[in-house]
Amino acid sequence: MLPVGSILFAREKKDDRLISVAMLFTAVLWIVRATAQEAQRRPDGVEVLKAEVRALREEHEEQRKRYEARLKGLERRLQELESSKAHPRAEGRDETSQKALEAELERLRSEQRAQMTTEAGLSFPSVGRVFQSFNPDISVVLDSSYHADSSKEGIEHILQDLDGFGHSHAHGHGHEHAHLDDGFNLRHAELFLGADVDPYFKAWAMAAVSESDAELEEAVIQTTCLPAGLQAKVGKFFSDFGRINAQHSHDWDFVDQPLVHRLLLGDHGLNEKGVQFSWLAPTPFHLLAGVEAFQGDNELVFNYVGGGHLPRREGPRLWVEWLKFAPNLAGKHGLQLGFFHARGVHQEAHDGNSDGIEDHWLDGRGELWGADAVYKYDAREPYGQGDVTLQAGYIRREKDLEVKDHLLTRGFIGRSRTDEQDGLYAQGAYGFLPRWRLGLRWDRVGLTNRNRLPDGTRNHFDETDRWSAMVDFSPTEFSRFRLQVSRGDYALGGRHKDEWQLFLQLVISLGKHGAHKF
Binding site for another protein (CB under 8 A): 90, 93-94, 97-98, 100-101, 104-105, 108-109, 112, 115-116, 119-120, 129, 196, 199, 224-231, 279-287, 289, 321, 323, 326, 328-331, 334, 336, 341, 369, 376, 378, 380-384, 387, 398, 434-435, 475-478, 513-518
Nearer to another protein, 285 or 467 (CB): 285
Closest distance to another protein from the beta carbon of 277 (Å): 12
Q: Which residues contact residue 21 at a Cβ distance below 8 angstroms, ignoring those fewer than 6 apart? A: none
Write phi, then psi, for 128 (nearest 5 degrees). Answer: 65, -140
Residue 321 and residue 284 in contact, taking contact as beta carbons nearer than 8 Å: no
Closest distance to another protein from the beta carbon of 95 (Å): 8
Nearer to another protein, 49 or 108 (CB): 108
Closest distance to another protein from the beta carbon of 334 (Å): 4
Closest distance to another protein from the beta carbon of 445 (Å): 21
Nearer to another protein, 309 or 343 (CB): 343
Closest distance to another protein from the beta carbon of 142 (Å): 14
3-state secondary structure 361-401: EEEEEEEEEEEEEEEEECCCCHHHCCCEEEEEEEEEEEEEE
Nearer to another protein, 156 or 367 (CB): 367
Distance separating alpha carbons of residues 507 and 141, to the nearest angstrom:
7
Closest distance to another protein from the beta carbon of 282 (Å): 4
Distance separating alpha carbons of residues 175 and 271, to the nearest angstrom:
11
E strand or H helix at 136: none
E-assigned strand segments in 95-229: 137-149, 183-196, 201-209, 214-223
Nearer to another protein, 323 or 440 (CB): 323
Nearest 5°: the CA angle 474, 477, 483 is 25
Closest distance to another protein from the beta carbon of 76 (Å): 22
Nearer to another protein, 495 or 517 (CB): 517
Closest distance to another protein from the beta carbon of 330 (Å): 7
Closest distance to another protein from the beta carbon of 104 (Å): 5
Nearer to another protein, 22 or 103 (CB): 103
Closest distance to another protein from the beta carbon of 250 (Å): 15
Nearer to another protein, 178 or 193 (CB): 193
Nearer to another protein, 186 or 230 (CB): 230
Burial 289-310 (b: 16+ CB within 10 A, else e): bbebbbbbbbbbbbbbbeeebb
Nearer to another protein, 119 or 314 (CB): 119
**Burial group, residue 402, by CB count within 10 angstroms (0-12, 13-18, 19+):** middle
Distance separating alpha carbons of residues 87 and 265, to the nearest angstrom:
75
Burial 468-484 (b: 16+ CB within 10 A, else e): bebebebeeeeebebeb
**Burial group, residue 418, by CB count within 10 angstroms (0-12, 13-18, 19+):** middle
Residue 371 and residue 218 in contact, taking contact as beta carbons nearer than 8 Å: no
Q: Which residues contact residue 263 at a Cβ distance below 8 angstroms, ignoring those fewer than 6 apart? A: 159, 162, 165, 421, 423, 445
